Amino acid sequence: MKILFYDTKSYDKESFEKQLANFPEVEIDFMKTDLAPKTAPLAKGFDAVCAFVSSDIGTETVEKLHEAGVKLILLRCAGFNNVDLEKAEEYGIKVMRVPGYSPEAVAEHAMALALGVTRRLHKAYVKVRENDFSLSGLMGFNFYQKTAGIVGTGKIGAAMARICRGFGMNVIAYDVYKNPDLDFVEYVSLDELLERSDLISLHCPLMDNTYHLINKETIAKMKDGVVLVNTSRGGLVKTDDLIEGIRARKFFGVGLDVYEEETKNVFEDRSDEILEHSTTARLLSFPNVMITSHQGFFTEEALAAISETTLQNAVAFEKGESTGNEVVKQG
């Protein structure tokens, strides 16, 4: 099987090349260009393409991939909201993903963000580097005996719930489906979670019914001084409403590893004017906001699991076998 690997980073290539020794039937061509309508025709002659959650795999891209003869889209990630699944099904293109690689990696990063903004670690780091050891502006609060609200209790949300429990927090959660392994978690309605939580951590997929889940109305229901963390999908949060809430001093702190503009590739253009007017840049202007570069998954263990599962998906497809990692349009 020949795979064209889009948007290759050095760590992607290193991780996948380590695994290729175990998959002699697979051949990969790595390229730095991301998958989009203009670059999809480059896949002509390949059986499959490998892309990330930030790639543009909408209607036009899928059409171009079909014209190029591609039969398989391999997502080296769990999310698939960037794919036109209906069009892929129409053309007989299979879509496969990596539903669980290292949920602990993302959950640990979510807690790192929560601690970072709560204990003002980003501000403290800068102050000390400037030889300022004063405690002014660094007051935080304990997580012990506070309430953590977990939105989405799949593998990552469950890992975050266990971490919060380890901190001595009271853990409540909202999910359509209750996780039977979380017997210590109290499931409540979304409204109740928003009203009771001192820390809210988002771990749900981006779908039509979760798009802009955090907005002006839901923010108004939160406690004053709440900490919000999002390591899931940028589209879960309506950024303009979040900014309004931060300005109104609703939040003690906000930690983001994802943001809406990821899908717009706004930072491909590094011009000062573009950056100045981006909502992400506006968020960075607030001292109680910490933003990281979608690195929640970025551990050695997670990358190894991603590359291995992706290649297993490719081989299973070629053999006509099912792995349970196929993505199909619901409804």
User: What DSSP designation does 294 have?
Assistant: S
Pick the catalytic residue: 262, 300, 318, 326?
262
- Annotated catalytic, 262? yes
Secondary structure element (H or E) that encloses residue 228, with its range:
strand 226-230
Residue with tokens 């469950």, as numbered in its chain: 158
DSSP annotation string for 37-72:
TTTGGGGTT-SEEEE-TTS-BSHHHHHHHHHTT--E
Relative to beta strand 186-187, strand 170-174 is parallel
3-state secondary structure 245-290: HHHCCCEEEEEECCCHHHHHCHHHCCCHHHHHCCHHHHHHCCCCEE
Secondary structure element (H or E) that encloses residue 158, with its range:
helix 155-166
Pick the catalytic residue: 109, 233, 260, 308?
233
CB 35, CB 49: distance < 8 Å = yes
Locate 86 and state its tokens. 């209906």
Through-space distance between the first and last CA atoms of the chain, rounded to whole angstroms: 31
Secondary structure element (H or E) that encloses residue 236, with its range:
none
Pick the catalytic residue: 294, 318, 321, 326?
294
Residue positions counted in the chain: 331
- Annotated catalytic, 233? yes
- Annotated catalytic, 109? no
Rounded to 10 degrees, the C-alpha dihedral 328/102/291/265 comes to -40
Locate 97 and state its tokens. 């993903």
What residues are annotated to the active site? 233, 262, 294
